[in-house]
């Protein structure tokens, strides 16, 4: 049963971030790098913050926003410039920031995600980070935060942990982002 929920979790995360795989330069592409001031995700997870977490240089490979119903969604991701010689992986960080029309709607969205994932190994509530937050890691491949503060929520995930990645910097940058929202 745990394996079923774990597979559902990873499938949901895959769908969540699948829009951030840059496939064309078309202005209608939902993962183009927008210069519009509303595409603020990379202002929260800054290039320097991403590089602190990854422990190496990275490029912004996605920065976009769109409105879904009454919620604004901002997404960005950063990709390491080089393949890690030790792990054979190319580091990647995904970030999604949502602004809901109310704190109640944001709380409902947070609770739905948390309830679906709380039984997975490596899930831990984080007291004092926003209004509510949880951290999840398998200890090897990924770090993940879901944080809600008032009507705002963000998800941040290092999906390709390498020998350069820093879990402590991941947590520190998450605290900085909470302070900004």
pLDDT tens for 95-153 read: 999 999 999 999 999 999 999 988 998 899 999 999 999 999 988 899 999 999 999 99
102: domain CATH number?
Answer: 3.40.1000
Full-model pTM: 0.78
Are the CB atoms for 120 and 103 separated by under 8 Å? Answer: no
Provide the number of structural domains found in the chain. 1
pLDDT tens for 32-84 read: 656 665 567 678 888 899 999 999 999 998 888 888 888 888 988 999 999 98
Query: Which SS3 state, helix, strand or coil, does residue 120 take?
Result: coil
Are the CB atoms for 112 and 99 separated by under 8 Å? Answer: no
Domain that holds residue 91: 2-20+31-180
- Residue 13: pLDDT over 60: no
Q: For residue 181, what pLDDT band results from cuts at 50, 70 and 90?
A: confident
Residue 25 lies in a domain: no
Residue 8 lies in a domain: yes
């Amino acid at each position: 049963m745990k394996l079923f929920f774990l597979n559902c979790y990873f499938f949901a995360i895959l769908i969540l971030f699948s829009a951030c795989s840059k496939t064309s330069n078309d202005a209608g592409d939902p993962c183009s790098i927008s210069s519009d001031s509303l595409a603020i995700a990379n202002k929260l997870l800054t290039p320097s913050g991403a590089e602190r977490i990854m422990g190496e240089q990275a490029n912004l490979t996605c920065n976009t926003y769109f409105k879904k119903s009454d919620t604004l969604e901002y997404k960005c991701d950063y990709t390491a410039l080089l393949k890690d010689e030790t792990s054979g992986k190319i580091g990647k960080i995904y970030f999604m920031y949502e602004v809901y029309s109310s704190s109640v709607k944001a709380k409902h969205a947070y609770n739905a995600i948390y309830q679906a994932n709380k039984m997975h190994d490596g899930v831990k509530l984080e007291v004092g980070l926003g209004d509510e937050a949880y951290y999840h890691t398998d200890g090897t491949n990924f770090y993940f935060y879901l944080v809600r503060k008032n009507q705002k929520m963000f998800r941040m995930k290092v999906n390709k942990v390498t020998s350069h990645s820093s879990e402590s910097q991941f947590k520190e940058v998450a605290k900085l982002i909470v302070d900004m929202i």
